[in-house]
Amino acid sequence: MLWCLASLSLTVLHIEHETIYLEKILAVPGWDAWLGNDELGRSVAKRLLAGARVSFFIAISVVSISFFIGTIIGISSAWLGGWWDRLMIMIMDLFMAFPGILLAIVLAGLLGPGISNAVIALSVVGWVGFARLARAQTLSIKQRDHVQAARALGTSTTRIALRHILPLLTAPLLVQITFELAGTIIAESTLSFLGIGVQPPDASWGSMIRDGMRYMLIAPHVVLAPGVAIFLVVMSINMFGDRLRDRLDVRIKH
């Protein structure tokens, strides 16, 4: 249990450590490069941190947008039922019947490269996970006594959704958020790697790997560093999500 908590806080600290660190570092240029320099003589360590900022910005925007849209659609679909529910189920099934990242690749490619377009493309496919989860959970919560009671008392629909349903959705949605974060970080770097995501002068871990590949045989560190960064962050978030799921599930059971 203690070990669990320790690694959990370590994971949290690791991520925060990174986000807080980068503003300070970026503010002080001229640091000697720890991880060597890339093909234009830029410090890989600093680009890594700048890439971290872009990556976290995109991941957090995409997950917030997806969370917002997905949850609203999920709750409303379960709550209202009828044709709206059927339409939403149809659309969700369509999105699920297809590897989402592929659609994101196509969209991002055609929208043109750039941070905001990457956010749009990833959000278009990101909301489905939240919507499905919120819908499934709301369907069961809807039948619970406290919601029925609130309804009988004439509480407005918005208020029921916000005060009586959403709090009960928090645990599963939180877990979903961690996994979507990890997925989005990989997806964003995939887009950038394919040359349809973040563009220079913005740094991205994906595009660093893409650019570095050309010089890989002379200077492997240019490719190794961003890869290790993606790998570590994604692994930490995944492990954090696993722990979170285990912990929250226990609480749900009791």
Partner 1 sequence: MPRYLFVRSLTALCVVLGICTVVFFLLHLVPGDPVDVMLGEAALPADRAALRQALGLDQPIFVQWWSYLINIMSLDLGTSIHSQRQISALLAERLPATILMACAGFATAMLIAFPLGIFAALRNNTAVDHAAMAFAIFGVSVPNFWLGPLLILVFSYWLGLFPVSGMNGVTSVVLPALTLGTGLAALQARMIRAALLEVLHEDYIRAARARGINETRVVIRHAVRNALLPVVTVLGVQLGALLTGSVVTEYVFDWPGIGQLLIDSIHKRDYPVVQACILVISTTYVVVNLLTDVLYSVIDPRVVLEQ
Q: Which residues bind partner 1 (CB under 8 A)?
A: 90, 93-95, 97-99, 101-103, 105-107, 109-112, 124, 182, 186, 189-190, 193-196, 206, 209-210, 212-213, 216-217, 220, 223-224, 226-227, 230-231, 234-235, 238-239
User: Please, which residue, 60 or 224, has the CB nearer to partner 1?
Assistant: 224
CA-nearest of 41, 50, 52 to 215 is 41
Q: How far is the CB of 203 from partner 1 (least distance, A)?
A: 16
Residues 103 and 120 sit within 8 Å (Cβ to Cβ):
no
Q: How far is the CB of 162 from partner 1 (least distance, A)?
A: 31
User: Please, which residue, 138 or 236, has the CB nearer to partner 1?
Assistant: 236
User: Please, which residue, 139 or 194, has the CB nearer to partner 1?
Assistant: 194
The torsion angle over the Cα atoms of residues 62, 64, 68 and 71, rounded to 10 degrees, is 90
Report CA torsion sign: 191, 194, 199, 202: positive
Q: How far is the CB of 108 from partner 1 (least distance, A)?
A: 9
Distance CA 113, CA 19 (A): 24
User: Please, which residue, 161 or 211, has the CB nearer to partner 1?
Assistant: 211
Q: How far is the CB of 194 from partner 1 (least distance, A)?
A: 6
Query: Which token pair is 160?
Result: 């029921």
DSSP annotation of 163: I
